[in-house]
Amino acid sequence: MKKIPNEEELEIMYDFSLEIPTRKYVEEPSILMHLGNLKGKKILDLACRTGHYAFLFQKKEAEKIVGVDISPRMIKLANRKKEMLGVQNIEFIEKDVKDLEKLDEFDIITSIFLLNHAKSEEEVRTIAEVIYKNLKEDGIFLSCTFNFHHKGYIRDRYKNYKIDISIKEDDYSNGSPVNIEIIPDQHGRIFITDYFMDPRVYEKAFRDVGFKSFKWISLTISEEGKEKFGEKYWEEYIAYPYDILIKAIK
C-alpha cells in the first residue's frame, strides 16, 4: 500500500527528492551552468521550498538572496536551516508568488518548478508580471519547468529515474492535471498535482509583459551522472526529457 505523507512529512521529504538522478545530475548542474558567475548578485528564488537553491547561491557568493514560498512549513524549515548554518544574507518570505509585491530590483530571478503550478493562462501572466517588476533592466529570469513540447507522458516511462509523470486520458488541454509521483530511496513517496500548459502560453505571457527575449533551453546531463549510471541509463530521458529551462531577459 502506498504511503501518502502528511503535510509535515512532505516538507521534510522534499529535500530527499533533490537526490533523484535527474535532479542531482541534470537539473542542478544545468541551472548553475546557465546562471554563470553569481558573485555579488542579488537573487530572488520563487517557490524556494526549503531553501536548497538559496543556500547553493549563497555558497556561490551571491550578495543577497530572497526566497519566497507559499508553504509556511517550507519556510519554517528553510529558516531553521538558515539558523543552523549561521547565514546572514538570505531572507525567506511566506507568500503566494501571485500576490508578491515589488521587493527590489534583482539581478536574477529563479523558479524551479513554479510555472507548472499555474492552472490558467491568466495565472501564468500574473506570475510573469511579478517576475518582470522585480527584475532590474537586463536582469535574467531562469526557470526549470515541465517540458510540454512533447506529449510522451506515459506511466512508468521515468521509473528508472525515481519519478513517474502521467496525464489522465491523454488530456493535453491547458489546465489539465499532471500527476507526479517522486520516489526517493527508502523515504516514502511524494505525490504532486501540477497542470499542463501549451508552451506558447508561457512565451506569449512573458513577451506581453515586456521581456525582450525568451528562449527554451535543453538541460545537460553532467559528466558525473554519465559516469555514475552509464550512457544507456539516460536514453529514455534524452528521448523524452520531462524538464526544460526557460531563460528570459528583461
Q: What is the pLDDT of residue 187?
A: 63
Domain boundaries, the chain: 7-149+197-249
**pLDDT averaged per 10 residues in sequence order, the chain, 250 residues:** 47 81 97 98 97 98 98 94 96 98 98 97 98 98 97 92 91 95 79 95 98 98 98 97 98
Q: What is the pTM of this model?
A: 0.94
| C-alpha cell recorded at residue 237 | 530521458
Q: What is the pLDDT of residue 10?
A: 61
> Greatest CA separation found in the chain?
52
Q: What is the pLDDT of residue 185?
A: 72
Label residue 4 exposed, middle or buried (CB < 10 Å: 0-12, 13-18, 19+).
exposed
CATH superfamily of 7-149+197-249: Vaccinia Virus protein VP39 (3.40.50.150)
Given a contact cutoff of 8 angstroms between Cβ atoms, the answer to whether 210 and 35 are in contact is no
Q: What is the pLDDT of residue 40?
A: 98
Q: How far is residue 173's CA from residue 170's CA, in Å, rounded to a whole number?
A: 9
Q: What is the pLDDT of residue 4?
A: 43
Given a contact cutoff of 8 angstroms between Cβ atoms, the answer to whether 250 and 141 are in contact is yes
